[in-house]
Structure 1
Amino acid sequence: MVLHIELPLLGGHILMGTDAPKEMGFTLTQGNTMHIQLEPDSKEEAQRLFDELSIDGKIEMPIQDMFWGAYYGSFTDKYGINWMINFQNRNQ
């Protein structure tokens, strides 16, 4: 089991992974085995990405300020792709 893993890529991008065990209520369904996470440079860009990409999709968590200090939301788009939008204000 892997809680979280990060692989830094070029240009400041990070490929992230996490597990989804059945013991935690996850059921393997074709297409739900990954999420794409975007980390934009501003709260406004995070909101724009969330609003545009989630059109006709299913919002899992509305984008909002979170207890860990990020502006975060998640959804499945109209094509079945899972997304997480996370703006972390690193200037605080």
Structure 2
Amino acid sequence: MATFNPYLNFLGNTEEAFNFYKSVFGGEFTFLQRFKDTPHGGQMSPEDQEKIMHVALPLGRNTTLMGTDALEAFGHTLTFGNNFSIAFTPDNLEDAHRFFNGISEGGVVQMPLEKMFWGAWFGQCTDKFGLQWMVNLEIKE
């Protein structure tokens, strides 16, 4: 079954925020990756290398709170209103393409839907109403 999850962006304090959410909601992180552990990590400042590239905290059986540090070094700007996205996890690649093509129509594509280094198909866009969406489908091998 496809799922929709909130994806939060922070200005360098994702780790602090998610440790707070973990203390409130309980549970354990199912994923935590720092920028230093990405293919481009060596090209970043030591400070940015320690920032959070992706973190996931389950909030229930079908919902996961996810987040990242929005790095200015990558050209990200963050203001209230663009500090979150709705993350869509489809059931299959056909649904991923159908959803991404539909939701991005008339909007702006920041990252086209394509295979990524973390083992998933991923795409990111802002729809014609200004809402941010992410599609992420793990590749099953």
TM-score, normalised by the number of residues in structure 2:
0.56
Measured at CA, do residues 26 and 43 of structure 1 come closer, stay the same or move farther in structure 2, by a change above 3 Å? same
| Counterpart Cα distance in 1 of 2:74 and 2:101 | 29
Q: Is the 8 A contact 1:31 1:80 kept in 2?
A: no
Match for 2:103 among 50, 53, 58?
Answer: 53
Higher share in helix: 2
Measured at CA, do residues 21 and 69 of structure 1 come closer, stay the same or move farther in structure 2, by a change above 3 Å? closer
Query: Alignment partner of 2:69: what SS?
Result: coil
Provide the residue aligned with 1:75 in structure 2: 125
Structure 2 gap segments, 5+ residues each:
1-12, 15-51
Structure 1 gap segments, 5+ residues each:
none
Query: Alignment partner of 1:12: what SS?
Result: coil
Query: Alignment partner of 2:106: what SS?
Result: coil
TM-score, normalised by the number of residues in structure 1:
0.81
Provide the residue aligned with 2:135 in structure 1: 85
Query: Alignment partner of 1:16: what SS?
Result: strand
Counterpart amino acid of 1:17?
G
Alpha-carbon deviation of 1:11? 4.1
Number of positions where the alignment pairs a residue of Structure 1 with one of Structure 2: 91
Larger Rg: 2
> What is the Cα-based RMSD across aligned positions, in Å?
1.9
Provide the residue aligned with 1:8 in structure 2: 58
